A and B are shown apart, each in its own frame.
Chain A
Amino acid sequence: MGGDEAYLVTDDALAGADEWATARVLAAALDKLAPDVALMGMASDDARGSLVPGAVAAIRGLPLLSYGAELTMADGAARIRRLSASGFDIIEAPLPVVASVTDQVGEPRYASLKGIMAAKRKPLETWSLADIGLAADDLHGAALTRVIEARPPEAKPPTERVADVDADEAVTRIVDWLAARKLV
């Protein structure tokens, strides 16, 4: 896909890491790599807190450019296009920065066979917590939060289906349904 080097931080002490612990670990790893731009997605799909990029920036003492739909670099600065209340802003900060981007920033390309072969020869280094200068005690058991209960969501009534009717009948059914729920 285009990566030149990869680093994997893995340690038993990271099991169940929350957003704060994840940010601590990424910040410590980034301290070693010191990139001009630490580029992150705007959200993960598990907890959807969107907190890691900003927390990494805070821990490393770097500017944050968040929710970028476009990212460019020029003259020692990074710029993003970010939605505002009615239009968009161009937000700029001097390098180095932490940036988070939306899915508008680019389309993943298909990996070519040549690229897949080349990837096998790219360096992958594995780091433990100690390798990035952290101890398990620094991470408060990997989380400042704890889950005290996990359960399936409440069962909701099955979907009511209206099919094979003409538009007039469909409209009557929709309006009756809305009226029964006091939505019209």
Chain B
Amino acid sequence: MSTDVAFLAEFADGAPARSALELAAGAAELAGQSGGAAVALAYGPGADAGAAGLGAAGAVRAVVLGSGGGPAIGHAAALAAAVGQVEPLAVLAPATPNGRDLAAALVGLLGVPAFGPVRAVEVADGRIRSEQATLQGSVITVSEPAEGAPSPSIVLVLANTFTPVEGGSGDAEVSEAPSSDAGAFGRARIAESHPAEAAVVNLEEASVIVAGGRGVGSEEGFAPLQDLAAALGGAVGASRAAADAGWIAYQLQIGQTGKVVKPALYIACGISGAIQHRVGMQTAEHVVAINKDPDAPIGEFADLFVVGDLFQIVPKLTQEIKRRKA
């Protein structure tokens, strides 16, 4: 085993995902503690050309797993082969569907321990020590590899846990993953691709989110939320009820079966705050809730709970924020 810290770096359309830049910073931080190097494990369209550029984000080396499209899990065999070669202390994976699939494949293929999604992670006594919220946030646990557990430790990391390096420079030293047979994971293929008519923002990257729920009432009801989000430089999200009703794209659903977000500010409008929603946003730094129902569960965990009509409050809030900014 080396003291290097590896991370998954997903590429799409020739550019690294935001998660790749965040994990590069995280891997560099942990590698500083372990005395090793941050190593990118890059995959997806554009990974071959773009991997060197991860040097500016904190990677010392980069191994390209593959640059094809198709399901990310198709890179699992190359990932396992690359991990066998690099022998890192840990592999950081984004807690996204693709990142979790690849992390799961490593756990199964290599028989290695998995941690997280973590809220903090460090290298202590030469091994990973992670801190995570479990049982719906009711308990904080600190974990490490069991005695004699093989390396690497696989660490799932939520978006906005690490901050990308700004103004970095330099290229990572790029190599190809050892050749491998894609195996069973390579048998899944994209049979059809249906892009949306309008581009959808990546909620996991937003530092301000204005989210709407059942109380928004309709697709048109989201318009004042869009205006508020624009005034704050943020993005609009939704609860499952609003996505199921067809008022907003499923990509914008926050919660147990949607996105897990960690913005600096979360404004919940007309969202009751069921546990399924809460698990998707409970790591937000500040939560403001606006709801007509004084007994809505969100009133128990929001930082600021405003009982009132969102259709009266939100447009005026947008005006006031614009006025103060001007």
| Nearest Cβ on chain A to B78's Cβ, whole angstroms | 14
Question: Interface SS of chain A: helix, strand, loop or mixed?
Answer: mixed
Residue B176 lies at the interface, judged by CB distance under 8 Å to chain A: no
Measured in the bound complex, the distance between the Cα atoms of B33 and A110 in whole Å is 54
Measured in the bound complex, the distance between the Cα atoms of B278 and A45 in whole Å is 12
Interface residues of A in 136-151 (CB under 8 A from B): 140-141, 143-151
Residue A6 lies at the interface, judged by CB distance under 8 Å to chain B: no
Beta-carbon contacts of B295-326 to A below 8 Å, as 1s and 0s? Answer: 00001111111111100110011001100110
| Nearest Cβ on chain A to B92's Cβ, whole angstroms | 14
Residue B274 lies at the interface, judged by CB distance under 8 Å to chain A: no
Measured in the bound complex, the distance between the Cα atoms of B302 and A45 in whole Å is 21
With A20-B112, A151-B140 already in contact, 11 other A-B pairs whose C-beta atoms are closer than 8 Å: A45-B135, A58-B107, A91-B188, A146-B145, A148-B142, A150-B139, A159-B303, A162-B305, A167-B316, A168-B316, A170-B313
Complex interface: chain B residues within 8 A of A82 (CB)? 97
| Nearest Cβ on chain B to A119's Cβ, whole angstroms | 27
Write the residues of chain A forming the contact surface with B, with a CB cutoff of 8 angstroms: 18-20, 23, 27, 42-43, 45-59, 61-67, 69, 79, 82-94, 97, 102-104, 140-141, 143-154, 156-157, 159-165, 167-168, 170-175, 177-179, 181, 183-184
Segment at the interface with A among B34-42, B49-57, B195-203: B195-203
Residue B169 lies at the interface, judged by CB distance under 8 Å to chain A: no
Complex interface: chain A residues within 8 A of B126 (CB)? none
Measured in the bound complex, the distance between the Cα atoms of B320 and A163 in whole Å is 19
Measured in the bound complex, the distance between the Cα atoms of B150 and A174 in whole Å is 51
The 6 A-B pairs of least Cβ separation, nearest first, read A54-B104, A58-B108, A55-B108, A144-B113, A163-B307, A149-B142
Q: Are B108 and A59 in contact (CB under 8 A)?
A: yes
Measured in the bound complex, the distance between the Cα atoms of B106 and A174 in whole Å is 46
Measured in the bound complex, the distance between the Cα atoms of B136 and A26 in whole Å is 24
If the complex has contacts A146-B146, A159-B299, A161-B307, are A171 and B320 also in contact, measured as CB distance less than 8 A?
yes
Residue B250 lies at the interface, judged by CB distance under 8 Å to chain A: yes
Q: Are A18 and B184 in contact (CB under 8 A)?
A: no
Q: Are A83 and B250 in contact (CB under 8 A)?
A: yes
| Nearest Cβ on chain B to A8's Cβ, whole angstroms | 23
Complex interface: chain B residues within 8 A of A63 (CB)? 184-185, 187-188
Write the chain B residue with the least CB distance to A144.
Answer: B113
Residue B214 lies at the interface, judged by CB distance under 8 Å to chain A: no
| Nearest Cβ on chain A to B77's Cβ, whole angstroms | 10
Write the chain B residue with the least CB distance to A27.
Answer: B108
Write the chain A residue with the least CB distance to B289.
Answer: A159
Q: Are B76 and A174 in contact (CB under 8 A)?
A: no
Q: Are A66 and B107 in contact (CB under 8 A)?
A: no
Q: Are A86 and B141 in contact (CB under 8 A)?
A: no
